[in-house]
Structure 1
C-alpha cells in the first residue's frame, strides 16, 4: 500500500469519526440547553430521559452534570437513583465543587425520604401507609338487608391504605383552622383524634392537596377496597369474630362505657340492645386517639369503629351491577356517598364487615364521621 493510499485511508477514517462525533456532541449540547431552561422553570418531569440520552451519547458534559442529574431525580422523587448521582458528584468534585454543599444537602434529604418510605410514610407528617396485597373476596351478605346484597365476588389490586383514620393534626396541615368540635363537653378536637365534621368534598380536597404535596396518587378508597382491607382475609361477621360482644379490644363503638354515662339509653326489654351495646367496655365515650385499639390482620386500626369513614363510591340501594374489579361505583345519583364502619356513637350492628351507610353530600359533616385514604401501590 502506497503512502498516498494510507493517507487517504486515514483521512476517510478521520472524516467518518468527525461526521459521527459532531452531530452527537451537537445533540448533547442541545439537550443540555433544554435541560437548563426546564430547570430554571422548575419543570423536572421530562428531564430524566434527557439525562439518560446524553449519557448514552458519551458526549462531553459539564463538570456539574452529575449534580444536575441527581437534583432532577430528587425532584421527581426517584431517591435511590438521585443518591447515586449525587454521590458521584460529591466524590469527583470534592469540597471545592461549586455545588458541593447543595449536593450534600440533597443527598441527606433523599436518604431521609427513603427511610420514611420504608416506614410507610411519603413525607414528614404524612399518614403512615400499609401495603395491602391483591386478592379476591366475597363482598356483602345475603341477610335481610337489601343494600348488602347480593353477595358477590370481587378481585382487588394491591394498594396502600393509611394505618389509621386521618387525624386532626394531619388534616390541619391542609386546613389549619379546622375545628372537629365537641360532644357533651368532651373534645373531638385533640391532635391525635380522628378528624370529624368533614364532608365528602372535604375528604376529596385533602387527598388532592396531599397528592400535590407528595407527587403520590392519593385518593379515597373504593367501597370494595375498604371492605377487603377491613376483612383482612376474614369471612367472619365482625373483625373480632362472630360474637357481637367481643368488640372492645378492636373497636371503639357504643358499649358499656356509653351506658355508664347514659344508662337511660338502654332498653333491657328490647332484644336489639344486646347487640347495640356489647357487654364490654372499651373505655372511650367519644372518639379515641387513633391506633389505641388492636389492629386487624393487615395492621390497620379502627377500621370498623372510632368514626365512620367516607369512601369514593356513590350510594346505591343494592349491589346489582356493582363493579367486580375493586373500583369505585360512581354512576347514578351521587347526592349520597357511602360511609363505612361504625363509630363511638353507633352500634355493633353497624360494625359488621358487610354493613353500609351513607351521608348526604349537600349536608355538613357528621360529628362521628371522618375518613382514611389510599394510594396506588406497586404489585407485591
Structure 2
C-alpha cells in the first residue's frame, strides 16, 4: 500500500502522465482498534466562572459510546496521496521517511484529509472528539490540569506548565517528531512521544453552579483540543504550535492526527 501511495504521489508531483495513468488508484487500508463503550472521568477545558470569578471546572463522569480508531498516525505517504489528488494542502514540513507520521498540519488540514479519505474508502471517517481520544489513549493519556485542589486558575496553570515541562522531557527546542515504540493497552501506536494529535473537541465556556454542576455556553471552536502527554488547546489554523498559537496549556511539539471510523 505504501509503495502505491508513494508512486502515485511522485508521479503527480513530477508530472509524468503515463506513469500516473499506469498506476492504479491507491489501495487505502487501515488497521483500526475497537474501543469498547465506557464511562470516564473527564474535565472540560476552557473558561468557567462562578459568581463573576474564574474557576476550575470539576471532573465529570462522561459516557463514551463504542468506536473504531486508527491504530497508527496518518503517515506522510498517506497524506501525500491526498495532496496529489487535490484533496489536501501541502504540509509545511515532511518527515524524512514516508512511513513516519505526517506532522505540521492544522486542524483544517486533518479535517480535509478525513473528508478525502471518506470519499476514497466509501466509509465515513472523522477526527475523534476529546473524550474518545482520552478513552483510546488509556494509560498514555495525560492531563496536566487535574493534580491540584486549587480553584484558582492561575495556580492551576502554573502547575499545568510545570507538570507539562516534566512530561515533555525536552530541555531545549523540540527534537524531531518521534512516536514511542510499542502500543498501549488498546493497541494504538505512536502515543507518548512528542507528537500531539488533533481532536474535534472545542474550547468550552460555562458557569459553575453552587451545587457543583456546570452550565455550558457556546463553545469556542476556533480553538481545538489536542491530546498527547498533556492536553492543550491550539488555534485551528496553526500547523506548528511550538512557535505560537497555543491557546491553553504548554504548546505541543508536533501536531499529527488519526481518524475514527463512523458506524
Per the normalisation by structure 2, the TM-score is 0.60
Q: Who is 1:42 aligned against?
A: none
* Alpha-carbon displacement from aligned partner over 1:71-122 (angstroms, at most 9, x marks no partner): xxxxxxxxxxxxxxxxxxxxxxxxxxxxxxxxxxxxxxxxxxxxxxxxxxxx
Q: Who is 1:357 aligned against?
A: 232
Which has the larger strand fraction?
A: 2
TM-superposed deviation, 1:295: 1.3
Q: Secondary structure at the residue paired with 1:287?
A: coil
Whole-Å separation in 2 of the counterparts to 1:276 and 1:179? 27
Q: Who is 1:178 aligned against?
A: 90
Q: 1:204–1:219: 8 Å Cα contact kept in structure 2?
A: yes
- Are residue 191 (structure 1) and residue 98 (structure 2) matched? yes
Higher RCO, 1 or 2 (CA under 8 Å, sep at least 6)? 2
Q: Who is 1:66 aligned against?
A: none
Q: 1:148–1:318: 8 Å Cα contact kept in structure 2?
A: no
Whole-Å separation in 1 of the counterparts to 2:29 and 2:96? 19
Q: CA RMSD in A?
A: 3.6
Q: 1:308–1:340: 8 Å Cα contact kept in structure 2?
A: yes
- Are residue 135 (structure 1) and residue 38 (structure 2) matched? yes
Q: 1:173 to 1:359 in 2, by over 3 A?
A: same
Q: Secondary structure at the residue paired with 2:119?
A: helix
Q: 1:162 to 1:147 in 2, by over 3 A?
A: farther
Taking the TM superposition and a 5 Å limit, the aligned residue runs for 1:1-380 are: 124-140=27-43, 149-176=57-84, 178-181=90-93, 188-231=95-138, 234=139, 238=142, 276-277=165-166, 285-288=175-178, 290=179, 293-316=181-204, 320-321=214-215, 331-341=218-228, 351-352=229-230, 356-361=231-236, 363-366=237-240, 368-377=254-263
TM-superposed deviation, 1:375: 1.0
TM-superposed deviation, 1:305: 2.9
Which has the larger helix fraction?
A: 1
Q: 1:168–1:189: 8 Å Cα contact kept in structure 2?
A: no
5+ residue gaps, structure 2, are 1-25, 49-53, 144-160, 208-213, 242-253
TM-superposed deviation, 1:151: 0.6
Give the number of the structure whose alpha-carbon radius of gyration is greater: 1
